[in-house]
Chains A and B, each alone.
Chain A
Amino acid sequence: MKLIILENYSQASEWAAKYIRNRIVQFGPGPGRFFTLGLPTGLPRDHPESYHSFMWNNFFKHIDISPENVHILDGNAPDLQAECDAFEEKIKAAGGIELFVGGIGPDGHIAFNEPGSSLVSRTRVKTLAMDTILANARFFDGDLSKVPTMALTVGVGTVMDAREVMILITGAHKAFALYKAIEDGINHMWTVSAFQQHPNTVFVCDEDATLELKVKTVKYFKGLMLVHNKLVEPLYSMKEVGAERSQSKKPYSD
């Protein structure tokens, strides 16, 4: 695992963005596509809190992505399990996930794989834990009855199949989950811990998220920042990709 510790939320975001950009350029997009993962069911597509709206407003409308390359699980599909199975097929057809980017919940869940989810699960319908419902209430004016109780999500196993996994964790309220994810054992009650068995994981966090970690752990990884920063500097650009291709850079391994 690479644990990247930045001072605050904006620095962590910026580091992650640069890393993703470099990875995209290296990947050499063309037939490249990407997928988005966790979608609460029951929300109409144009509901301001639907993932469609969220992704549109925060991402798609700012970039020149072609709509055919966007695959969001449709929580309003008539047969939800078929929708999930089709999603898995699409991932396979696209050649597998190159880089998975996600966050974790305060209960240590990855996507909507709530505590107790199988660590080899695939894309499916999941009932949400109370913790998650409470955490999402803020998007529904604090009214618990309006928060969806089920979600379509990629499974832990689906994410483990990705060639690289990046998890973003910021804020003190995630500190305990981060501790459970990386300093404790692998446990299906803290599904993010499954990535201890993934060959290529990057955790990007801010100082507040490290509050429950051992000082030793934090010092060790902070000491590695010089090496890790080489992943974001130099910042590659699509225009240089032609020249760089011959000397393609590989990501540093653990």
Chain B
Amino acid sequence: MPSNKSVSDAPIVQFTNCRILRNHQLQREDLWVREGKILNPEKLFFDEKGSADVQLDCKDSIIAPGFIDVQINGGFGVDFSLATDDFKSGIDLVSQKILSHGVTSFCPTLVTSPPSVYHQVLPQISVRNGGPLGAGILGAHLEGPFISKEKKGAHPEHCLRTFEAGAFQDLLATYGSLDCVQIVTLAPEMRRSSEVIQELTKRGICVSLGHSVANLSQAEEAVQHGATFITHLFNAMLPFHHRDPGIVGLLTSDKIPAGRRVFYGMISDGIHTNPAALRIAHRAHPKGLVLVTDAIAGMGLAPGRHTLGQQVVEIDGLNTYIAGTKTLSGSVATMDTCVRHFQEATGCSVETALEAASLHPAQLLGIEHKKGTLNYDSDADFLMLNDNLYVQATYIAGEEVWRQDASGM
């Protein structure tokens, strides 16, 4: 069909015969894309008198926004907390491989490490758009070292630090630079955390509470100072207690400032959280649930020993422990597995499961105007999935960057 576009000459692609996730529902609508963004077909029709250049039949697939993983420590043998010579190619490898899991944007995560690691690694991470070479990088997630000794989990104790001497300056000195940092996880019960949280929030960095023994009022105070996320809920924090719910209590706290929402990460790999606990959290605060993988270097590889920063971890099936212990350390789950498992365990709708991995992380990072949805003018990062939520194809900026081939690889 000839097009007559007054606004742009770029080709217009119309994806037909599909169900798209829009306005929290799967709707039988076509998806229109031009110049890497989702296009409004009604405006195109009436204002530009334009029509599609290419029509693609999606064979009744589900089209959902691309997944966003805000906590991923590495994968395929690559460890983001290890300052190797080929760090850059490592991050490129991971960003390319996770396309097959449906992830179109991610936050490479660094666990507690000595300052030298941050100083070497952080300058090598740059915020960049995704494309055929891999998923987009939104910025680093620094999990530690300003966390609690009692809840260090798999983080190495000798690298833990406090900022009671110089507050924000201490933090900056430890990390070296905050230029490409998107999220910082810290324990709010630490002295002078409020100042640090305020300063980070002022710089547009998302503050997350985790690896902490904070009680509910300390957690609420942190939220009032700007914290908006909880790192892997239930794990590495005090368990819920009916007289002091701790950080978990933020899900239903009435002290959250008006207009703000607290989000919480959940690793729904079936191991980190009992399905019943996952359901409790989901039912208490469905709009705040953000699926994360917390994947480590061993993800995508055969079982055996791998590193996680300064530690050695052992992978046995889906379980990953600090070698020789029963302490969980990250996971080898992939994002699409987490979405499927979440949907099964909670019995929630397909739309809810997909939004937990796309819309909610975008809202957490304040980028939902361009990521995490299929709204007009958003970035055209999306997935084609079958009814069982297996990813069939991944698109970034309207371009196909991965496709499941016929042999099922």
The verdict on B51 contacting chain A, using a C-beta distance below 8 Å, is: yes
The verdict on A249 contacting chain B, using a C-beta distance below 8 Å, is: no
A66 touches B46 (CB 8 A): no
Stretch of A45-53, A161-169, A219-227 contacting B (4+ beta carbons < 8 Å)? A45-53
**Closest approach, in angstroms, between the C-beta of A70 and any C-beta of chain B?**
8
**B280-300 contacts to A (CB < 8 Å):** none
Q: Could you tell me the distance between the alpha carbons of A57 and B43 in the complex, rounded to whole angstroms?
A: 12
**A177-193 contacts to B (CB < 8 Å):** none
Number of A-B contacts (CB under 8 A): 32
A56 touches B42 (CB 8 A): yes
B51 touches A67 (CB 8 A): yes
A67 touches B43 (CB 8 A): no
Residue of B nearest to A68 (CB): B49
A46 with B41: in contact, given A64-B1, A67-B51 (CB under 8 Å)? no
Q: Which residues of B contact A61 (CB under 8 A)?
A: 30, 41-42, 45
By size class, the interface of chain A is: 10 to 19
**B18-39 contacts to A (CB < 8 Å):** 30
Q: Which residues of A contact B48 (CB under 8 A)?
A: 67
Residue of B nearest to A61 (CB): B41
Q: Could you tell me the distance between the alpha carbons of A46 and B40 in the complex, rounded to whole angstroms?
A: 10
Q: How many residues of B contact A (CB 8 A)?
A: 13
B1 touches A66 (CB 8 A): yes
Residue of A nearest to B46 (CB): A52
A56 touches B49 (CB 8 A): no
Q: Could you tell me the distance between the alpha carbons of A68 and B49 in the complex, rounded to whole angstroms?
A: 6
The verdict on A60 contacting chain B, using a C-beta distance below 8 Å, is: yes
Q: Could you tell me the distance between the alpha carbons of A52 and B30 in the complex, rounded to whole angstroms?
A: 18
The verdict on B130 contacting chain A, using a C-beta distance below 8 Å, is: no
Q: Could you tell me the distance between the alpha carbons of A64 and B41 in the complex, rounded to whole angstroms?
A: 13
Q: Could you tell me the distance between the alpha carbons of A70 and B42 in the complex, rounded to whole angstroms?
A: 13
Q: Which residues of B contact A46 (CB under 8 A)?
A: 42-43
Q: Could you tell me the distance between the alpha carbons of A64 and B45 in the complex, rounded to whole angstroms?
A: 11
The verdict on B249 contacting chain A, using a C-beta distance below 8 Å, is: no
A60 with B45: in contact, given A67-B50, A67-B51 (CB under 8 Å)? yes
B42 touches A67 (CB 8 A): no
Interface residue from A45, A57, A64 paired with B46 (Cβ < 8 Å): A45
Q: Which residues of B contact A57 (CB under 8 A)?
A: 42
Q: Which residues of A contact B1 (CB under 8 A)?
A: 64, 66
Residue of A nearest to B49 (CB): A67
Residue of B nearest to A56 (CB): B42
A56 touches B4 (CB 8 A): no
Q: Could you tell me the distance between the alpha carbons of A170 and B220 in the complex, rounded to whole angstroms?
A: 59
Q: Could you tell me the distance between the alpha carbons of A106 and B30 in the complex, rounded to whole angstroms?
A: 36
Q: Could you tell me the distance between the alpha carbons of A60 and B51 in the complex, rounded to whole angstroms?
A: 11
Residue of A nearest to B32 (CB): A61
**A23-59 contacts to B (CB < 8 Å):** 45-46, 52-53, 56-57
**Closest approach, in angstroms, between the C-beta of B58 and any C-beta of chain A?**
16
Among B4, B42, B50: residue with most chain A CB under 10 A: B42
**B341-365 contacts to A (CB < 8 Å):** none
Residue of B nearest to A57 (CB): B42
Instruction: Convert A59-93 into 0s and 1s, putting 1 for each residue whose CB lies closer than 8 angstroms to a CB of B.
Output: 01100101110101000000000000000000000
**Closest approach, in angstroms, between the C-beta of A30 and any C-beta of chain B?**
16
Q: Which residues of A contact B50 (CB under 8 A)?
A: 67
Q: Which residues of A contact B4 (CB under 8 A)?
A: 67-68
Q: Could you tell me the distance between the alpha carbons of A56 and B51 in the complex, rounded to whole angstroms?
A: 13
Q: Which residues of A contact B49 (CB under 8 A)?
A: 67-68
Residue of A nearest to B52 (CB): A64
Instruction: Convert B44-71 into 0s and 1s, putting 1 for each residue whose CB lies closer than 8 angstroms to a CB of A.
Output: 0111111100000000000000000000
**Closest approach, in angstroms, between the C-beta of B388 and any C-beta of chain A?**
29
Q: Which residues of B contact A66 (CB under 8 A)?
A: 1, 51
**Closest approach, in angstroms, between the C-beta of A241 and any C-beta of chain B?**
21
Interface residue from B41, B42, B51 paired with A52 (Cβ < 8 Å): B42
Q: 7 pairs across A/B with beta carbons < 8 Å?
A: A46-B42, A52-B42, A56-B41, A56-B46, A57-B42, A68-B4, A72-B46
Give me the interface of A with B, judged by CB distance under 8 Å.
45-46, 52-53, 56-57, 60-61, 64, 66-68, 70, 72
Give me the interface of B with A, judged by CB distance under 8 Å.
1, 4, 30, 41-43, 45-51
Top 5 nearest A-B pairs (CB, nearest first) are A67-B49, A56-B42, A67-B45, A52-B46, A68-B49
Besides the known contacts A61-B42, A66-B51, 12 further A-B residue pairs in the complex with CB atoms under 8 A apart: A45-B46, A45-B47, A46-B43, A52-B46, A56-B41, A56-B46, A60-B45, A61-B45, A64-B1, A67-B49, A70-B45, A70-B46
